[in-house]
Chain A
Amino acid sequence: ETGVTQTPRHLVMGMTNKKSLKCEQHLGHNAMYWYKQSAKKPLELMFVYSLEERVENNSVPSRFSPECPNSSHLFLHLHTLQPEDSALYLCASSLTNNEQFFGPGTRLTVL
């Protein structure tokens, strides 16, 4: 298996649920990213991990909690989300300061 993979591809959850998104890369990259893509808005960078340390947190609400246990895996833990959090969540990885490679995304719907 190569590239950047994300699971699940689709997720429907209620506002009181707790769920996690998973991202995995097998490219030997040392940086990983979470983006949110809402309808009619540019991609918004949420979190950046470089060498497994969080280096960027763009004022994301605390109901989103990232975790990077190693350089190949990245999680986004979701808790008490709002309907406006419904979006496509994209994971990407890169070698520092090189082009980012994206996964297929998780399409999240919050009811």
Chain B
Amino acid sequence: AQKITQTQPGMFVQEKEAVTLDCTYDTSDPSYGLFWYKQPSSGEMIFLIYQGSYDQQNATEGRYSLNFQKARKSANLVISASQLGDSAMYFCAMRLNYGGSQGNLIFGKGTKLSVKP
């Protein structure tokens, strides 16, 4: 069965430091996509970054990068130079590209990141 696991319920990081949020996934399908979303206290889910299963290079978007290790089935999010506004819940999600649930996202339970001044 497809599954996303985020083992860190909460994380603290000092402002301006880098932080890594863990995500592992489980699927037997060869084609899938991995996503990270940010959810501030306002509730809206904000798309951050995407990694395709066949992409050769790790995805980067500004201060966000995805450390994709396919053999380990991990897709950790790295946030560099943390800012106070980065405090939020972060969700890892997987989308399958084949089968009856094509296109649907499976989410992890999330990690609450708190940035300390």
- Does A104 contact B43, Cβ atoms closer than 8 Å? yes
Q: Which of A12-20, A37-45, A61-69, A76-84 contacts B (4 or more CB under 8 A)?
A: A37-45
Cβ-defined partner of B109 (8 Å) among A41, A88, A90: A41
Q: Which residues of A contact B95 (CB under 8 A)?
A: 97
Q: Which of B22-30, B44-52, B63-71, B79-87 contacts A (4 or more CB under 8 A)?
A: B44-52
- Does B104 contact A56, Cβ atoms closer than 8 Å? yes
- Does B104 contact A48, Cβ atoms closer than 8 Å? yes
Find residues 83-107 in chain A having any chain B CB closer than 8 Å to their own CB: 88, 90, 92, 94, 96-97, 99-105, 107
Known pairs A96-B103, A97-B97, A99-B50; A88 contacts B108 (CB<8 A): no
Q: Which residues of B contact A103 (CB under 8 A)?
A: 44
B57 contacts the other chain (CB 8 A)? no
Q: Which residues of B contact A102 (CB under 8 A)?
A: 37, 44-47
B105 contacts the other chain (CB 8 A)? yes
Cβ-defined partner of B47 (8 Å) among A31, A33, A101: A101
Known pairs A101-B47, A104-B42, A104-B43; A43 contacts B104 (CB<8 A): no
How many A residues have CB within 8 A of the partner chain?
24
Cβ-defined partner of A105 (8 Å) among B43, B104, B108, B109: B43
A99 to B46, CA, bound (A): 11
A94 to B104, CA, bound (A): 10
- Closest A residue by C-beta to B50: A99
- Does B105 contact A42, Cβ atoms closer than 8 Å? no
Least distance between B93 CB and chain A CB atoms (Å): 8
By a beta-carbon cutoff of 8 Å, the part of chain B in contact with chain A is 4, 35, 37, 42-47, 50, 91, 95, 97, 101-110
By a beta-carbon cutoff of 8 Å, the part of chain A in contact with chain B is 31, 33, 40-43, 45, 48, 50, 56, 88, 90, 92, 94, 96-97, 99-105, 107
Nearest 5 Cβ contacts at the A-B interface: A102-B45, A105-B43, A43-B107, A104-B44, A42-B107
